[in-house]
Structure 1
Amino acid sequence: MAGHILVLNTGSSSIKYELVDVRTGRRPARGLVERVGERRGRLTHHAGDAAPYVRERPFPGHGEGLAAMMAAFEAAGPALDPVAVGHRVVHGGTRFDRAVVIDDQVIAAIEELAPLAPLHNPVNLTGIRLARAAFPRAPQVAVFDTAFHRTLPPEAYTYAVPRDWRDRLGVRRYGFHGTSCAYVSRRAAALLGRDLAGLDLIVAHLGNGASLTAVSGGRSVDTSMGLTPLEGLVMGTRSGDVDPALAGYLARVDGLDAQRVEDALGHESGLRALAGTGDMREARAGSGEEARLALAVYTRRIRKYVGAYYALLGRVDALVFTGGVGEHDAATRAESLTGLERLGIAVDPARNAPGPEHERAISPPDAEVPVLVIPTDEEWEIARQALALIGDRA
């Protein structure tokens, strides 16, 4: 099969896209629409060796961002005629444990699961619907972030809540960032020169959304996100772990209903609540006690989960940083692991310093637990899974 797969990774505040050659794996075009829904939007489109095509303007929603992507291909090339389109979909519930070809029934199922991922599944569907209209002859493939975590054992995914909630309403841990975890786990094994089946890893995917995952033998055995992507680490605009009684308390003392609390925990919390911005780069540039506290809360939560997953696994063959913050913020990496030297986990300041963005070890050469930085490539993972699914059908 010849041609290109268009990969759409429509996230909560960004749209990443790549055009992938199915024979060579080369990327003739890629781009990013960032800060969707904010005042300062930016589209950067790369086509071959040409200078980047950049447009800076607000993108009020994902529909406008996706339309801008299409316009960038028209203006800067290459011609867009994919043999298939691969989509990142965040929540597949218990219905989807692998990639699937999208039809009306799949769309309906993704829509039904939207209450579990209200920040993501609706915008994922926006990308799917636009792509189906734009490329009606190309198979559309959904690759689910939750699928990687279908290997969680019952003791990891079960919440201690009433059986009716679990059985009838599907209340359980699902986990997210699975597409990224699948990719970086394989790359970690390659970087270490070992078989993934024999490795115990901790994967720290730190971006606007953030999670930690314990991976044993290439299988997810625990992960910090839960029923929705709100649980776990402190994130750009999400609180992460809070006392479950918080919603009831706020209803009693301030009259806030459940929807208002959920919106605040998902959109107005995290770094945004503590530092006044959901962007780690801006938080790092801040000064004063609020900025210091925000970063201390953020990195302390990571350190606590690393220790917990070390205890759960019993041993750790490598700890992997990935995601926008994990790949680019040396200070966050160092601060997140401070005090873990007795567990064999440490970073080397020189190796951890900002530099070329490539796969590398940032721990001392003789470290008991290698600490790695591996740029995630969810787009390639989505293309790989889409190609494996459609084969010669395209």
Structure 2
Amino acid sequence: MSWTLFVLLYLYILEGIPYGLQSRFLPLVLRSRGLSLTTLGFYKLLYVPWLFKSFYAPLVDTRGTKRLWLIASLTGLLSVTLALSVSTEGISESSSHRSPSSLTLTPLAICLLLYNFFAATQDIAVDGIALLVLTSKEIAAGNTVQVVGYKLGGVIGGGLLTTLASFVSIHQLFAAIAGVYFTGVILCSTSGVISKSASQNYTVTQKCTSVGENSLDSKASVSKKDDKDDGEKSYWHLLRNALVNSPGSCYLIILLLIYKLGEQGAMNMLPLLLFDRGASLAKIGLWNGMVGQISSLAGSAAGYKFLSNNCSSASALVRLMNIRALLQIPLIIIAVDSSGSLSPFSAFYLGALCMNVTLFFSGAITTVVFTLMMHCTRSESSVRTQATHYTVLSTAELLGKLIFGVVAASFTDWVGYGVANIAFFLLSLLPIYFIRSHRRCFAFEPTL
């Protein structure tokens, strides 16, 4: 692995820690202190900075350098982590002498909201740096590093902290995480890779209208004329131009909104289905949490291999999505078997096997999709607006998963597991049909 990829890997690990901390670690800690599921559910609203990062991404594009934004966001994460170590001191006490109502959660909520804001800002800056420093040959490997690094950060912030919480106080855990962010600040202040991106950012800002400013962007000439006045235009205008001058982006956004629908529904409901069929929480936690996360990481790392066989990202996606859809058929069999024809043992391990293989291919699909997103950004936007353009795409990818994740449970509760899994299977076929029907709209991808 080159030093550039290693630096990006470390930065994406730092970016993934807040997600693991908020999605796996803190919910368990707060639940053990007696908080209701409804209260924990409201904490999902604190992810809102991720959905709105597209609106302030132009600031990162046009004000200062990506390096300065990265150092500022990591310093913010460091400060908030130290604040979390203080605000969670009361929570870390035993629940035997503290009622849920006695816990002061407002400081914690404020800290988590700021945590998400700084993490989302870091995401914009790191993506912008990756777009500047990666060569065309490194894009696929860079996106593998992006996905794997983020998931590794989630494992550290979630699984590792949850395990260590039995031996170390929460205050000490957050102090350790603050130390990790401090190393990130030092790395960004001294790394030649980050300095290189700052130099490139400055050069592009000063000479954004010069001929050949981005030899990798075959269609950047469409927006070069507009770049002269970027500094005088509003951020909203810059945000709009990031998409208006990108013919294939609208189709890619549609794909990003639908490509995970069926999978998200099936994977979110399967643990509940297995639990309702008699499986223990411990067994489900092992296979869905630990083993499933390893499968997803392995798939994300293998995604690069699916792109190295002289096929386009769109072709690789169709192949992987076909396999993913086929793996959902056994889940339909388990779901419709309400009479118990399958033994609980057979149903559980068939479901666990399909789940982990699906998560493997899902990880590969995510890597390929992010590679396609980066090709789109580098081809259809100027260097000056790349971070904004890529942020819009990544926000659409996140929005598609979050929206259906909210409604899938209610839909399953309404129609039952059997009908719901059939619907999830059909939704998994939708992105395959969309790619095949609009393949020409992904012409921004360079020919391999």
Question: TM-score, length-normalised on structure 2?
Answer: 0.24
* Structure number with larger C-alpha Rg: 2
Greater fraction of residues in strand: 1
User: Which one has a larger percent helix, Structure 1 or Structure 2?
Assistant: 2
